[in-house]
Structure 1
Amino acid sequence: MLILTDTLTTFDNKVNKIKSLAKKKYYLQKTLKKINEKIDLNLWWLHNKKQKYLEMLAKYPTAKDPATLDHIRFDLRVTLPEQKNFRLHVLTLLKELEG
């Protein structure tokens, strides 16, 4: 993914500009907290959207909503993995600072 690579490069450049190790660690921890909140929110949204879709199908078995399904699939296949990869990258940087 080109977008993730650009984002990681920009993020790495921002982290590398911070001189103090304590400030780097604080910034990485704050970023990790934010990305964890985003992942949790995304998972909640996906679960909620899936439940609403299943309830709609239970009421109206012949109804289809391809736009909602496409959005759910996109979040599961693209957005969520990118967020998890970014979290892994931040965790790796934190480990390097501690080790």
Structure 2
Amino acid sequence: MGDYWRDVKPALKEDSQRKRAGNRDASARNLTAAGISFEAKNGGAHLVVSAADLIVDFWPGTGLWVVRGTGERRRGVRHLIKRLGGQWPPQGKSDGEIHP
């Protein structure tokens, strides 16, 4: 069993890294499409989102977001967009996904 994980773990890790990178790109596009401004930090791994008189720390790789000054912690860019008063899905997109 140890040999199996030694062989499989690098592939799983690579898949996870690729998914997180895709999440970072897609989340930034989705926030922009919803008209929500943000400042990218650490190469896009952390976004500081400002809207509706709130400042939110958002980590798009994992989907975690935290409203500063409160205990509110949630996950998902779609929930974040709705929480900040943005429209999801954006106008003209029926599937809710922003495509490049």
TM-score after normalising by structure 1:
0.36
- The structure showing larger relative contact order (alpha-carbon pairs under 8 Å, at least 6 residues apart) is 1
| Higher share in strand | 2
- CA radius of gyration, larger in: 1
Structure that is richer in helix per residue:
1
